[in-house]
Amino acid sequence: MRVLVTGGASGLGAALADACAARGDDVLIGDIADPGGVETLAGARSSTTAMKLDVRSDEDWASALAWVEEHWGGLDVLVNNAGVAGGGRIDRSGMDEWQWITEINLFGVVRGTRTFVPMFKRQRSGQIVNVASLAGLVHPAGMGSYNAVKAGVVAFTETCAHELAEYGVRCSVVCPSYFRTNLIEHMQATHPGGADTAIGHVIGELVAKAPLGPEEIAAAVIEGMERGDELILPDPAARAAYELKQTDRAAYDQVMRKQAARLHAIDRDEEQQ
């Protein structure tokens, strides 16, 4: 299999690239990281190549397509994994933060998909795997921008699945819960009043306490990809949260309100210090 993984230099992207290489795939890592560092990472895997790919750049996507056409002549799997974390309550998160996270987490997926769909259609085969988040299905307080773009990825993936089924192209969306990753380090809050420290504290704590790391999530994602699942919930916490929302909305709302109340309590504690 010929696989392109965006954001493949670290975190879940690197774990997915490793898992694909381990099963015998040829892997192309695309990442915004320093090209030398990405190439060094890829050099450790004999079947892996790396290139600079900023998912916001049409020119970088065109370069990735050209590379795939020249070296592979086609593509079997596109993994739109690159993303950033963001958050902040609605009155604390500025439009610049919304634009930043939308450009990467949603439009990056759209650009990648639009780049390779003509190739997939010509092949009459292929698989698109879009990494969203449990936040695309359940929507906790303090994460409006992140929830919205990840929900957009979920909706976009379903739309693509309907449109591309006739061409033999499968589409999957991945919605993990919190797992140990460096994504939290990239959180931004650029509203004029300063960072929403309460949501940063809550999410940081949840990530730090998460029982699973990117390798375990990647293994579950690979299993879902091989089954052809359209919705991949790769960890027990994600499955439980989504089931709660579907089966007991009152209990789900209570959980969400409890997290919102915790944010307000952190605010009060900070004011008293």
Cα R_g (the chain), whole angstroms:
19
The three state secondary structure string of 39-90 is: HHHHHCCCCEEEEECCCCCHHHHHHHHHHHHHHCCCCCEEEECCCCCECECC
Ranges of beta strands (E only) in 94-153 are 126-131
Q: What are φ and ψ of residue 52, in 5° steps?
A: -70, 130
* Angle separating helix axes 214-227 and 11-22, nearest 10 degrees: 50
C-alpha of 148 from chain center: 13
Is 167 a catalytic site residue? Answer: no
Residue carrying structure tokens 């009043």:
193
Active-site position among 146, 167, 178, 252: 146
**From CA 121, how far away is CA 106, in angstroms rounded?**
22
Q: Which active-site residues does the annotation give?
A: 146
